Structure 1
């Protein structure tokens, strides 16, 4: 008897070739539904640093074909994500969805996108850009711009590093603000480096600045003021948004407010319902704090919501 299987795949978006992993349930579990998992920021691979395998396993058990892929320039994928725009990366996610929909047995109207963190922005943009998507799921996706989100994450990191009231917190955040302003002026990498050096290269800034080179600085400048609001208002399909209540990287309360305000916008399609699930005590990866275990009920809630929106049996 044929069983569930996961195989390596390759698909193209223009001149870029993307390597991926396609999981197909055994015939007794197949529903014709499918999902593309879109990874987070940085050089995310098809497993998103180990976060996607348990999602893949649970979704395949629920009858979904599951596709994830190496970001351009990662693994066997060609290109360079640092040279890309958010539109380029969203188009990669759309190409992944087209590839999945073209697989035998997949019902095109039952295949959608799941985006984690930065991947949520990409999934929203890809979903807004086309008709016919049955749903979109975002996971720890900020409702703010990257610049605001990164400042929030840096502030929490500095608080953990130094303790409340430490003078390095305010000075390091002020340096971050100067770097953000420099990015808006399209300052070159040398100028940005001089700002960091003039401030003495505070150790806490490494959370944001470590590994930044000329290529990454160019990407950060392009990305920093990305605003997901227009994509949220332009959605034409149901949206499930997951958050961890103890996420130190994303301003959850502010993000929920933005998502809800967009859902109430008069231009929003009546098909674009919003479901928000906040798991108290869970972190950015929906894991229990200081644990690698996913929050209780998270995978079950994801599978059940998808089943309800694809017409598949639970």
Structure 2
């Protein structure tokens, strides 16, 4: 039986091949090339998406993944964005997370600092690439990249800008919000929700204290309330959460000078959009010109159109629809604003 990820890669390849064959070779918007670079002593497998016309390259952006076992293409999600940016003369780079598609390592063993180190290594790679050397570089990051990009921006002021797409500020607050939203959608009453949150608080205290995985297993066996049936963590996920669950981007954001663009979806079910926006505004209250923000109607956490994707319960069918719709799967103002802002930042630097 073929591995599911192999099937995904095969389908992505077929879709992309059909797209390219439908264009004259000279008009193909991007040139894709495989590159490797080292970060924290390990090899990273990356894809560099370059504008088809070499004379048009103005700068580049580093794509910073959200959570999960993401490959360079984010299973096809990134490619419409790459094409849009390439049409404006902007190159893109992205890589397989450790342990994904034969890349060495395990992404679940990484901290946010580790991930930021990879971003900095990717920057060096771009500066060593003949077509891109000396040209401005920025970041585009999604969701969990919230706790990665500020660290990279703080450590390397030569990163000129960053687009923050659907990014929370505090890990634990995001987790609580998602829990409450899920329980409300399941019809749970206030008493049940309070009981769940109380249990979660005790569990979080245990994990942040440095408890071993065995101690975690013992705790959930002895303390979990009878009605709850949460999915138990495996050892690798437990390690990842324990290393990163106290993440908060506030301190790092307070220390950066680069302009950022916060992009939020009004129908985002993963973060508290209103509260999150207030937090960013508070962080940049004395530097308001540094922050641009937009909340997009009819946009999910992924910035895909809510009216097209929110009712699809199958991840596979949602993915297939996204691949078939290409750029039309995205909230259109999001793509337009992202492209124009990145172009403006590149040209300003």
| TM-score higher than 0.5 | yes
Is 1:159 aligned with 2:184?
Answer: yes
Change in Cα spacing, 1:204 to 1:107, as seen in structure 2 (3 Å) is farther
Distance across 1 between alignment mates of 2:238 and 2:70: 18
How far does the alpha carbon of each residue in 1:144-199 deviate from its partner, in whole angstroms, 9 at most, with x for none? x2121112112212222x21526543333332222211112111112222333332
Is 1:193 aligned with 2:217?
Answer: yes
Is 1:258 aligned with 2:279?
Answer: yes
Question: Which residue is 1:302 aligned to?
Answer: 338
Is 1:169 aligned with 2:190?
Answer: no
Are 1:29 and 1:61, in contact at CA under 8 Å, matched by a contact in 2? no
Distance across 1 between alignment mates of 2:120 and 2:54: 28
SS of the residue 2:148 aligns to: helix
Alignment of 1:73-88 (within 5 A): 73-88=99-114
| Count of aligned pairs between the two proteins | 302
Deviation at 1:201, TM superposition (A): 7.2
What is the aligned counterpart of 1:70 among 65, 74, 96? Answer: 96
Question: Which residue is 2:16 aligned to?
Answer: none
Are 2:137 and 2:158, in contact at CA under 8 Å, matched by a contact in 1? no
What is the aligned counterpart of 1:98 among 102, 108, 124? Answer: 124
Alignment of 1:234-273 (within 5 A): 234-265=255-286, 273=290
Are 1:18 and 1:69, in contact at CA under 8 Å, matched by a contact in 2? yes
- The worse-fitting range, judged by mean Cα deviation, of 133-142 and 43-52 is 43-52
Is 1:34 aligned with 2:60?
Answer: yes
RMSD: 2.2
Q: Which runs of 5+ in 1 are unaligned?
A: none
Change in Cα spacing, 1:258 to 1:29, as seen in structure 2 (3 Å) is farther
Question: Which residue is 1:280 aligned to?
Answer: 297
Report the structure, 1 or 2, having the larger helix content: 2
Deviation at 1:203, TM superposition (A): 5.6
Change in Cα spacing, 1:63 to 1:173, as seen in structure 2 (3 Å) is same
Distance across 1 between alignment mates of 2:36 and 2:218: 42
How far does the alpha carbon of each residue in 1:283-313 deviate from its partner, in whole angstroms, 9 at most, with x for none? 110112252421121111101001111118x
Is 1:184 aligned with 2:208?
Answer: yes
Change in Cα spacing, 1:163 to 1:69, as seen in structure 2 (3 Å) is same
Larger radius of gyration: 2
Q: Which runs of 5+ in 2 are unaligned?
A: 1-24, 310-321, 323-328
